[in-house]
Amino acid sequence: MKYNSKNNSGKRKRRTPETRWEKCLDAMQRFELVMLSYWKLWLMIAAVICVAFLLRGFRDSRVAQALENPVDLRVEQKKNIDVSPEEIRAVRNIGEFEFLRVETEELAELTETGVLRDKQIARIYSGTLRIGFNLSDVPDNWFEARGDTAVLNVPRLRLLDSNFIDETRTRPLYEKGTWRPEAYETLYKQARKKMIDRVLTPARFRSARQNATEKLSRIFLDLGFNNVIINYTY
């Protein structure tokens, strides 16, 4: 028997409508199984979406409320500082304020010419010069509070003690001949003047004034003031 391979291989099997419908039903059943298998996941996604919409609506309502009723965030500074009269009196009762101290030595000498021989004397004097002022000298209105600013009217800086030479530390350098007490007084005045001229310079007073400003400012800043103005008036 002769086999016709051409005729048999060239024929294709046609799909009937029933076959296509069955495959469609099968796909739908597969999709349904997938949906049922992951129902928890779909439920979580739906819940997240709902929460997101709720949060967005809450945020929008808060923003609208803030725009309608703005909150004043300005910080109101305290204008007045509560300082008792006793605290101010305690500062004034300190009395003498020293802002600069300088220790120094000076040589003083005298020479007198005589008929027979000359006389000579020389001594070394030691002294401590202190620059400052005394708050006991100021009137009662030396302090004024202007809000958070303290205004101070204090004396001008000066030499606190005019007897600044310590005569117990005086050393004789040489002495020839006999001298009367007036000569020693002359040496003392000579050494004193030299010390004043060398120590009490404008530069030293500027340094003392800077120290005074820093010290007084620190005292009143510690009392709660934010600013300190110092007038050297008396």
| Chain position carrying tokens 């500074």 | 77
Mean pLDDT score, 169-196: 95
Between 41 and 204, whose confidence is greater? Answer: 204
Section 139-155 average pLDDT: 93
Tell me which residue of 191, 186, 195, 200 sits closest to 170, measured CA to CA.
Answer: 191
Cβ neighbourhood burial of 6 (10 Å; 0-12, 13-18, 19+):
exposed
| Single pTM value for the model | 0.64
- CA dist., res. 228 & res. 220, Å (int): 7
Measured CA distances, 213 to 112, 157, 184, 200, 218 (Å): 49, 11, 40, 19, 8
- When the pLDDT of each residue in the chain is averaged and rounded to a whole number, the result is 82
pLDDT at site 55: 66
pLDDT of 24 > 60? The answer is yes
Q: Helix crossing, 17-37 with 39-68: angle to 10°?
A: 60
- Which residues are CB-neighbours of 157 under 8 A, at least 6 positions away? 99, 131, 132, 133, 205, 208, 209, 212, 232
**Lowest pLDDT segment from 11-15, 33-37, 108-112:** 11-15
Number of H helices, E strands in the chain: 6, 7
pLDDT digits (tens, 9 = 90+) for 85-109: 899 999 999 999 999 999 999 999 9
Mean pLDDT value across residues 65-75? 50
Percent of the chain with pLDDT over 70: 68
| Residue 233: pLDDT over 90 | no
pLDDT at 16: 55
Residue 116 has pLDDT above 60, yes or no: yes
DSSP state letter for 156: P
> Does an H or E element contain 11, and which?
none
79 or 203: which leads in pLDDT:
203
* Confidence category of residue 8, pLDDT binned at 50, 70, 90: very low
Sign of CA dihedral 42, 46, 51, 56: positive
Contact 173, 107 (CB under 8 A): yes
Q: What is the pLDDT of residue 35?
A: 60
Give the mean model confidence (pLDDT) for residues 219-231.
95
Binning pLDDT at 50, 70 and 90, where does residue 118 land? Answer: confident
DSSP per-residue codes, 69-81: S----PPPPP---
